[in-house]
A and B are shown apart, each in its own frame.
Chain A
């Protein structure tokens, strides 16, 4: 049988890569929706119990008027975005002063806190709700195992791909669930504010994420951040001898910020530059570096990470690399996220994996989780809107070949669809059902 002389068509490889990034995003959203619906009974009672940076200015009360709630939500979001900006700039400064060890440690610490404390809390909620008869020794042992291996998986670059991907998705789920506990108006205004912040931080000349990306690119380094990297699609026309595929997927760093970056790995032996992973804390940057001539184009998407502890910064620049075979430019995106999460943009690599910053995962899941708190109809609508937004972002990435934010299109579409569904579609569907016309 003849071997197909053509390289894999762009549709096949691109489609497979897109699936490999849409699947974990969908799993993350699904699990957040499940968690929200299962644990919903507790959270609906007292919405003002969570004091975080996101609610520091105003704590929503159900008895306030609409105008008060709106003002409070705006105030909260402004404070949050301001904190995220400051932390991002601090991250840029630290990166500029080459304090990478500190950033890595902070990332590891963030992952530990998220997995250990927040994961433990959510596990306790579940145990309490289902009256699961587990004793404390077993529980502590299991939690300890889970946390330590998770920190190792995020820290080390050479752990099994599936394990690392799984743990990043788990971190995103935990942080997203935590964010859904915020009051309702604050959540929606915060999502829109973060989408706009992401847009500004990546595209404006003075934006922190753009500075970070340019800094990383000029130094040819990776940004410490939490980035989800999809498994690269291997070429069929690779060299006959087994070649080690370099994966510069992510940097072990974990900071609270989770960012999503999409980076592609280049399959060449010489440089490996694909995306860098970001630390959870403040920055998530995805760098996609182009390998010399051997790699095909790469798009890097980075996302932002959210920090669990304090303010979270989310910035998600998407970095797209032009699809060129011979181009060996490096695109890096870095987003600095404050405390917990980094948003990362999306990057696509022609040779391999797409990287998506963990912050993008988180904010998408927050949107869908908050939609789940209303009804499942809004969940379906928001899910479709987010996936459509992700597809649009990837296409824009392919065309523009520069860092692009991953959040704005999806989040704005998602919010739009949520309100349209809630106020227009639901009435229509309910009336049709009541009159036995449809469904």
Chain B
């Protein structure tokens, strides 16, 4: 994907947004042309705004992974702080939300895994997934 870029850049001094979606103008401040990581295959700037906004809002339904996908999708917006002001708000919000949620969730999961029975007592056995699966017979189809 990126291969054509360098060849073209040298040849023309211009980058076309290819795979990485980053087009750097040969001027002093590089600014990407395409807001998505897919470059010209991705969304245009207007569509990007609505997509970024809807991903950000849907992420509040306990969907941190959607926030992470949002950050990945609009990676050029995150990397270049001086571009795409409208989209940038939502992408940065998604990034912050993802990090906060992940920290909380992983701290809980690690406490549960490392603490184990010592910390929780008998309730650990009721909460751990393989016991729950056995109790509810979820794996009985095999």
Contacts and interface: CB of A to CB of B under 8 A. Distances in A.
> Which of B38, B69, B116, B130 neighbours the largest number of chain A CB atoms within 10 Å of its CB?
B130
A289 B40 CA distance: 20
Contacts of A136: 127-129, 132
Contacts of B12: 3, 240
B112 A138 contact: yes
B105 A138 contact: yes
Given A3-B12, A124-B133, A146 B139 contact: no
A244 B38 CA distance: 11
B66 interface: yes
Nearest to B134: A128
Interface stretch (B14-22, B80-88, B89-97): B14-22
A27 interface: no
A242 B73 contact: no
B29 interface: no
Contacts of A265: 41
A232 B18 CA distance: 10
Interface string A16-46: 0000000000000000000000000011001
Contacts of A232: 41
A159 B66 CA distance: 11
B72 A163 contact: yes
Contact of A135 (B38, B109, B141): B109
Interface in A75-134: 120-121, 124-125, 127-128, 131-134
A238 B142 CA distance: 53
Interface residues of A, number: 50
B33 interface: yes
Given A3-B12, A158-B51, A163 B138 contact: no
A149 B40 contact: no
Nearest to A45: B142
A294 B20 CA distance: 24
A234 B73 contact: no
Contacts of A153: 69
Contacts of B141: 49-50, 121
Interface in A130-184: 131-139, 141, 144-146, 148-149, 152-153, 158-163, 181
Interface in B46-72: 47, 51, 62-66, 69, 72
Given A49-B141, A125-B139, A138-B108, A160 B127 contact: no
Contact of A124 (B17, B37, B44, B130): B130
Interface in B107-142: 108-109, 112-113, 116, 127-130, 132-134, 138-139, 141-142
A392 to B, nearest CB: 27
A160 B138 contact: no
Contact of B130 (A1, A120, A128): A128
Contact of A144 (B1, B8, B62): B62
Contact of B62 (A120, A125, A141, A146): A141
29 contacts: A3-B11, A49-B141, A121-B138, A121-B139, A124-B129, A128-B133, A133-B116, A134-B128, A134-B129, A135-B112, A135-B128, A136-B127, A136-B129, A136-B132, A137-B108, A138-B105, A145-B65, A148-B63, A149-B63, A149-B66, A160-B36, A161-B42, A163-B69, A163-B73, A236-B8, A242-B23, A242-B34, A242-B40, A243-B40
Interface of B: 1, 4, 7-8, 10-12, 14, 16-19, 23, 33-34, 36-38, 40-44, 47, 51, 62-66, 69, 72-73, 105, 108-109, 112-113, 116, 127-130, 132-134, 138-139, 141-142
